[in-house]
Amino acid sequence: MKIDFSGQVAVVTGAGGGIGRAVALALSAVGAKVLLVDLAEAAGQQTQALVKEQGGDALFVQADVSQEAQVQAYVAAALQAWGRIDVFMNNAAWQGEIHAIVDYPVEMFDKVMNINVRGVFLGLKHVLPVMTAQGKGAVVNTASLGSFLATRKLGPYTASKHAVMGLTKTAALEVARKGIRVNAVCPGPVDTEMLRDIEASQAPGSAEHLRAQRTASIPDGRYADPAEVANLMVYLASDLSSHITGQGIQINGGSHY
């Protein structure tokens, strides 16, 4: 069976780079119209240009996913442009600063939780009613291997990704009889700018050595490419996964927590 999203509308948050950009391009490649959401205007517009270069239909909306009015605005923009939302890639996240819990600035803790948890919650809160009215839809939240494991000096990020799994499971239960599925992808290390920033903060001056150590611990010997995570997300949004909901699917090269 071929995956075909022709005539469908997808919303992707955090679409300015990394996994968000990769999944926006992947969805466009299989026919979806894509609303791109990111706080970084230049990065979001660049993703829009890339989608259009491959012949796709995309619209960029600048938004802070932690602000309810701005979430409502991106939902409204999708409805105004195309009249529906079939797929929601609830992806925007921030790693935060690298500190032990006892040294972690409270304002930075709040920022991580606002983006990674409040942002996912607000997206669900305002997209799910649209899908309920349609009687069909698929949501894929971006969680993490950090939804199951802890990492030193990434306490708020780890807590936030555990929370994303809790929201995923709860939302899935609440809408399972309404034709809507809610799942999460849980990547291990992915070759993104965000992970390089984390490694640079964790190992100043020796980030490449840290990366080599981590790579050696992965059974297939490499980090994931963002496109590989995007492929899993597209599958989870497609009818090929019609009996999968409330799950956190790991993509980690064979690692086990």
Percent of the chain with pLDDT over 70: 95
CB 118 within 8 A of CB 90: no
- pLDDT score of 79 more than 70: yes
Q: Out of 104, 157, 223, 257, which one is annotated catalytic?
A: 157
- pLDDT score of 32 more than 90: yes
Residue 201, pLDDT score: 67
Q: What is the pLDDT of residues 43-75, one digit of tens each?
A: 999 999 999 999 999 999 999 999 999 999 999
Q: Which of 227, 229, 220, 219 is nearest to 250 (CA)?
A: 229
Domain regions of the chain by residue span: 9-188+227-248, 191-223
Phi, psi angles (nearest 5°) of residue 129: -60, -35
CB 169 within 8 A of CB 184: no
- The CATH code belonging to domain 9-188+227-248 is 3.40.50.720
Q: How would residue 199 be classed by pLDDT, with cut points 50, 70 and 90?
A: low
Instruction: Give the count of alpha carbons within 13 A of 188, CB side only.
Output: 19
Q: Which residue has the tokens 């992970």?
A: 195
Residue 176, pLDDT score: 98
- pLDDT score of 108 more than 60: yes
Q: What is the pLDDT of residues 121-136, one digit of tens each?
A: 999 999 999 999 999 9
Is 74 marked active-site? Answer: no
Kindly provide the b/e burial profile for residues 104-135, where b requires at least 16 CB atoms within 10 angstroms of the residue's own CB.
beeeebebbbbbbbbbbbbbbebbbebbeeee
Q: What is the reported pTM?
A: 0.94
CB 116 within 8 A of CB 163: yes
CB 155 within 8 A of CB 140: no
DSSP 8-state assignment for residue 228: H
